[in-house]
Amino acid sequence: MDETIIQAILNLQNTQVKSVLATIIRTEGSTPRDLGTQMLVMATGQIIGTIGGGTTEALISKRALALLTVDSDVQAEIQRLEINQETDPARLAGCGANMDVLLERVQEKTLWQFALDLQISGKDAMIVTSLVPPYPKSIFDSTGHVLGGQPQTELFPNEKLQGIYTGRHTEVIDINEKLRWLVEPISKTQRLLILGAGHVAREVAYYARPLDFQVTVLDDRVAYARSEFFPWASAVICSDFRRGIQNYKPNCDTYVVIATWSHQTDAECLKDVLNFSTKYVGMLGSTKKVTTIVKHLQAEGYTSQNLARLRAPIGININAQTPSEIAISILAEIISVKYSEK
């Protein structure tokens, strides 16, 4: 579970807008989204996130709204959907695809705030939901100790938790029909640091926000580092690049795009970024420019192993020409890196 959904839940609870959390807990065949994909359905009919779109998503949204309007004791339920030409016109009838979706009325603000606090602190934790009525939800650490939430009436194999957390992907522990749990690692925030506030940077920030990156833009020019130019960014910082990078503290969950206003500042930014263990570092520029900068850094003593972390020229080669096309090629490469280690 990522920060976007947790923060949205808390924001809605603060405004007292009721909502239902929809989570895919089983897939079979060719489904549009994977296990663990989530969508938040508000009483207003609006949604945050998607479980695949189309009629399938519309059916789940309709049932979620029914849970909010029906005066009953039902707080959660599992819906099974068959995906065929009727529920998804893009698919052939009889394709055999289906999925189960857990629908939960969102309550217990304390649990969600605790989950967000754990996520921000970077502590190992997972949200564990029993898939047997009344669907109690708890927070565990990776060794199986309960940190908060509702009590679980049955115990599950603790040895599986560490593997699930290490893999950082949602799983269902399924022993039998009466012993099933959804286990969701509380994902650390995926951060995107864009160094430079030019045209390409604006397009990268624009397309990155709906991909659930926490976007920060850093530039040393007052006329460019302006929040109104980057309404999609979490932060826009006007600072000397070196000081700004040091204060930002890139980490293993940080993706860095270097696209400053000169070759010299690009080179200086690259030197500073290589001092941190980032998930990704890419630099905008031609092959000639990249070769010149790399040779310069090698002469300064940077090792080939360290410089091998640099992806440049940045982005997947799709013959991109416009700033928007270049941004898409950059984010395609970042997405590829993001999922390559799962």
pLDDT in tens, 97-109: 899 999 999 987 8
In the chain, which segments carry CATH 3.40.50.720? 191-340
The pLDDT score that the predictor gives to residue 222 is 94
Give the model's pLDDT for residue 95: 52
Order of all β-strands in the sheet with 137-140: 146-149, 137-140, 126-130, 179-185, 171-176
- pLDDT at res. 119: 82
Residue 90 confidence (pLDDT) = 46
Of 216, 140, 153, nearest to 184 by C-alpha is 140
191-340: CATH class? alpha beta
Mean pLDDT for the chain overall: 87
For 16, 265, 307, 330, the CA distances from 296, given in Å and listed in that order, are: 57, 13, 11, 24
Confidence grade of residue 56 (pLDDT, cut at 50, 70, 90): confident
Q: How far apart are CA 215 and CA 201, in angstroms?
A: 11
Residue 43 is classified by DSSP as T
* Residue 136, CB-side half-sphere exposure with 13 Å CA sphere: 13
Q: What is the mean pLDDT of residues 71-87?
A: 76
Position 58, amino acid: A
Q: Alpha carbon of 10 to those of 14, 60, 226: distances in Å?
A: 6, 22, 28
- So what's the pLDDT on residue 179? 87
In this predicted model, which residue has the larger pLDDT, 288 or 96? 288
According to the model, what pLDDT value does residue 93 have?
A: 38
pLDDT over threshold 60, residue 242: yes
Q: What is the pLDDT of residue 113?
A: 93
- Please indicate whether residue 219 or residue 304 has the higher confidence score (pLDDT): 219
Residue 220 has pLDDT above 70, yes or no: yes
Q: Where are the beta strands (DSSP E) in 70-125?
A: 76-83, 97-105
Expressed in angstroms, the distance from the first to the final Cα of the chain is 15
Cis preceding-peptide flag for 157 (omega within 30 of 0): no
Amino acid letter for position 23: T
Say yes or no to pLDDT of 309 above 50: yes
Q: Which of 209, 202, 208 is nearest to 259 (CA)?
A: 202
Q: What DSSP character marks residue 271?
A: H
Residue 52's region, left for phi above 0, alpha for psi from -120 to 50, else beta, is left
Q: 214 falls in which pLDDT band (50, 70, 90)?
A: confident
| Residue 162 pLDDT exceeds 80 | no
Mean pLDDT computed over 34-44: 91
Ranges 90-99, 140-149, 176-185, 217-226: which has the least confidence = 90-99
Whether the per-residue pLDDT at 262 is higher than 90: the answer is yes
